[in-house]
Amino acid sequence: MATAAASQVAFSAPVGGSDRAVRSSGIQGINSLSFGNKSWIGTALACDSKAAAQRGHVCRAVQQSSKSKVSVVPLDLESAKEPPLNTYKPKGPYTATIVSVERAVGPNAPGETCHVVIDHGGNVPYWEGQSYGIIPPGENPKKPGNPQNVRLYSIASTRYGDSFDGKTASLCVRRAVYYDPETGKEDPLKNGVCSNFLCNSKPGDKIQMTGPSGKIMLLPESDPNATHIMIATGTGVAPYRGYLRRMFMEDVPNFRFGGLAWLFLGVANSDSLLYDEEFTSYLKQYPDNFRFDKALSREQKNKSGGKMYVQDKIEEYSDEIFKLLDGGAHIYFCGLKGMMPGIQDTLKKVAEQRGESWDQKLSQLKKNKQWHVEVY
């Protein structure tokens, strides 16, 4: 990992359908930055016009390979015995600043997902697996005169943020767009208020933030050699990005991961993969500690010839997964709530094939605190 600090990083990002230059300056001590599905290490800047044209971006930092980990500060973020909870509440939110917004998917992805970096100045610390609440501007349509309701977003970075200094946090946001079923045209009045606000934000914009909240998805660290099976659809990968950066990217003195992290990610196609280069780099650097399986519903077929969904990948590796769970592995689910029925049906079918009661097994997993679910 490069040792020199980067005082300025420049890149361009298509935001809200147009390319706007995004610049983050004055961030000290950056050895590695990762936004969207790119991971950049070092301080050099370069423009590769051909590659940039293919991805829709203009100027990128030079990507280098290194097995060294990134130093993080301040280490007193490790000293808390309990996670911070609801430091800021809806009636007294924190005013944070947008650092950058970058489109995180390729041109052929259905819809738009953005990687949003927020500067909280170190005033709203959090742990991996927690969520922030965002209050979009404007009036609550159901309660005139009152602010908008809080929208929760899983945090997609470690407690040290993408700048590794404990002052930023990242969100992975899919722009919610509504199309009239009769006309097929977009109806802006029914679009997601908060997701469009975040994806349209520009560096320097102020946002109202609450939290952090949540304990269900916290990464258990009492056993650094534990197995963690992570299952996500789309932006549900957000908390896992935080886990994996903590495990494989950051030099955290009191957490040396030596176990197995196994990520299953379900998206529509290759262009929809989030943080793919970052995860792939972990595969190369830590082949004994990281596994990564993708379910691309529009590009892959399951064993029956139908579309490949994440539950099909789970079934494919079900015997191994059940053995790991029997050995104490933690299993996590994050994404749209519609993912769970199919996954539950698959797990139940596999359990029955093994001569086990899924209801009893699930009850035991919950009792042992091995089962973690956060869907929306």
- 27 - beta bridge partners? none
Tell me the C-alpha distance between 218 and 209, whole Å: 20
DSSP run (H or E) holding 323: helix 318-326
Is 208 in the same domain as 242?
no
Residue 188 lies in a domain: yes
Residue 188 is predicted with a pLDDT of 77
The larger pLDDT score, comparing residue 85 to residue 188, is at 85
User: Please, which residues bridge with residue 132 across strands?
Assistant: 153
DSSP-derived secondary structure letter, 136: -
**pLDDT score at 62:** 27
Q: Which of 153, 282, 286, 332 is catalytic?
A: 153
Whether the pLDDT of residue 176 is over 60: the answer is: yes
- State the binding site: 154, 174, 235, 297-298, 307, 335-336, 374
Same domain for 370 and 223, yes or no, is: yes
- Domain of 161? 75-213
Domain final residue, candidates 150, 182, 213: 213
Give the pLDDT confidence score for residue 356 in this predicted structure: 95
**Distance between CA 113 and CA 33 in Å, rounded?**
19
Q: Tell me, what's the pLDDT at 39? A: 39
- Enumerate long-range contacts of 297-300, CB under 8 Å, 24 or more apart: 297/266, 297/267, 297/268, 297/269, 298/268, 298/269, 299/269, 299/270
Whether residue 52 has pLDDT greater than 50: no
Asked if 376 is an active-site residue, the reply is: yes
**Is the Cβ–Cβ distance between 260 and 289 less than 8 Å?**
yes
Question: Is residue 374 flagged as an active site residue?
Answer: yes
Which pLDDT belongs to residue 183? 77
> Structure pTM?
0.82
| 7 pLDDT above the threshold of 70 | no
Q: pLDDT tens for residues 63-94?
A: 333 468 999 999 999 999 999 999 999 999 99
Domain boundary among 213, 228, 244: 213
Q: What pLDDT was estimated at residue 67? A: 60
Q: Tell me the average pLDDT across 27-37.
A: 37
By mean pLDDT, which of 67-71, 201-205, 235-239 is the weakest?
67-71
Of 154, 170, 201, 318, which residue is the catalytic one? Answer: 154
Residues 246 and 188 occupy one common structural domain: no
47 is catalytic: no
Across the chain, what does the average pLDDT equal? 84
